[in-house]
């Protein structure tokens, strides 16, 4: 996965490529490269200058980071992907009973697990269009190229956009099913999550559905090991954020100066991935004219991943305008899939 600003180019207008009439996929590019870069630069400046410094998870994903993430999903400790896939396999036929005509997937990435849903929806004979929606144009295009071969009769309409700002780009054509998988919702802080769910509710009609994958609260040691595996793949993934930052913004942070830390925050009920300085760090981010100083033992927070209870999440959904239709929980209560619909 390349950082979105590297893959997308735009003149500030939404751009569309391909046309549905000729059977080619359409790609609606909503990300303006300059606007994205300015927002990203401002965010890095804010994060690295904070009393408790942080970095956005967007820095994990260059091509190497994407490969590492793929490896993480296959690790024995990383239960999420397997549990979610299993739930999808068990319940995709029930999803197909809702007469879905358009399937949208937010943060679609490689759209791997999506095939389980698409198989069932295509089989139902109602599905017309699949809409992958991601900030990374390169990843989105690769996914469409693969899926077109597998589903020749399906229309593809990709959206290269930010799900915090571009939900209006979700095309008409209901009933729509909007999937948000991989526990990605847990990467949003509570206020951000609330706004996101509220905006999603505003973008949908009563006949539409959302399907959200949530990682569940469980024994902290089990969660921590999923983010600190014995082979050190997650540690390499975490440190890769610095390599990407160095390359993109001409910074000189040395990943070897940092230790990977996965910490369960009991109060917030989320896991924190951190990079902890092993020695005094004095580094600069040349493109932003910024310096960063850390004492040994000081951390950079790189990701949070909130864990939920099915009841707590159903209550959050209700507050944002959705009523729960079904919640499916995996064996051992590790992961949940929540199907919900706007109640007005
Ligand atoms: C953890 S991955 C999950 C990928 C996939 N859904 C899965 O379940 O394996 C998160 C995905 O969300 C995308 N993403 C992150 N922030 C985004 C945003 N603000 N808008 C759109 N996509 C975003 C990333 O590019 C990445 O593909």
* Distance from Cα 143 to the centre of ligand 1, integer Å: 13
| Residue 270 pLDDT | 98
- Contact 277 CB / ligand 1 (< 6 Å): no
* Distance from Cα 65 to the centre of ligand 1, integer Å: 13
Q: How far is the C-alpha of 169 from the C-alpha of 167, rounded, in Å?
A: 5
Nearest CA residue ID for atom 27, ligand 1 = 109
With contact defined as beta carbons under 8 Å apart, do 116 and 88 qualify?
A: yes
| Residue 18 pLDDT | 56
Q: Low-confidence residues of the chain, pLDDT below 70?
A: 1-22
46 phi/psi in degrees, rounded to 5: -65, -45
- Contact 162 CB / ligand 1 (< 6 Å): yes
Nearest CA residue ID for atom 14, ligand 1 = 107
State the pTM of this model: 0.91
* Distance from Cα 176 to the centre of ligand 1, integer Å: 20
**CATH 3.40.50.150, domain 78-216+309-342, yes or no:** yes
Instruction: List the chain domain ranges.
Output: 38-71+220-306, 78-216+309-342
| Residue 264 pLDDT | 98
- Contact 136 CB / ligand 1 (< 6 Å): yes
Nearest CA residue ID for atom 24, ligand 1 = 107
Best probe residue, ligand 1, of 61, 75, 109, 335 (max atoms within 8 Å of C-beta): 109
- The number of the ligand 1 atom at minimal distance from the alpha carbon of 180 is 6
- Contact 134 CB / ligand 1 (< 6 Å): yes
- Contact 182 CB / ligand 1 (< 6 Å): yes
């Amino acid at each position: 996965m390349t950082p979105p600003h590297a893959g997308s180019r735009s003149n500030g207008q939404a751009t569309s490529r391909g046309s549905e009439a000729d059977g080619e996929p359409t790609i609606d590019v909503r990300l303006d490269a300059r606007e994205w870069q300015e927002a990203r630069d401002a965010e890095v400046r804010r994060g690295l200058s904070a009393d408790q410094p942080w970095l956005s998870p967007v820095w994990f994903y260059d091509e190497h980071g994407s490969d590492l993430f793929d490896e993480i999903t296959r690790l024995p400790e990383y239960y999420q992907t397997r549990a979610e896939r299993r739930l999808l396999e068990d319940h995709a036929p029930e999803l197909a009973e809702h007469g879905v005509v358009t399937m949208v997937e937010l943060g679609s990435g490689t759209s791997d697990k999506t095939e389980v849903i698409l198989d069932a929806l295509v089989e139902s004979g109602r599905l017309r269009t699949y809409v992958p929606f991601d900030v990374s144009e390169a990843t989105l295009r690769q996914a469409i190229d693969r899926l077109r071969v597998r589903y020749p009769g399906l229309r593809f309409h990709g959206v290269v956009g930010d799900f915090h700002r571009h939900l209006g780009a979700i095309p008409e054509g209901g009933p729509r099913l909007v999937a948000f998988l991989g526990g990605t919702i847990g990467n949003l802080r509570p206020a951000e999550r609330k706004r996101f769910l509220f905006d999603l509710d505003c973008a949908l009609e009563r006949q539409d559905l959302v399907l959200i994958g949530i990682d569940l609260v469980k024994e902290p040691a089990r969660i921590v090991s999923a983010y600190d595996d014995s082979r050190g793949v997650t540690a390499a993934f975490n440190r890769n954020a610095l390599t990407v930052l160095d390359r993109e913004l001409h910074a000189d942070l040395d990943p070897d100066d940092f230790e990977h830390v996965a910490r369960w925050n009991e109060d917030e009920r989320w896991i924190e991935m951190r990079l902890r300085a092993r020695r005094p760090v004095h580094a600069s981010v040349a493109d932003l004219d910024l310096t960063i100083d850390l004492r040994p033992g000081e951390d950079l927070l790189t990701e949070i991943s909130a864990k939920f209870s099915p009841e707590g999440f159903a209550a959050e959904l209700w507050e944002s305008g959705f009523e729960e239709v079904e919640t499916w929980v995996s064996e051992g209560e590790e992961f949940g899939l929540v199907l919900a619909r706007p109640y007005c």
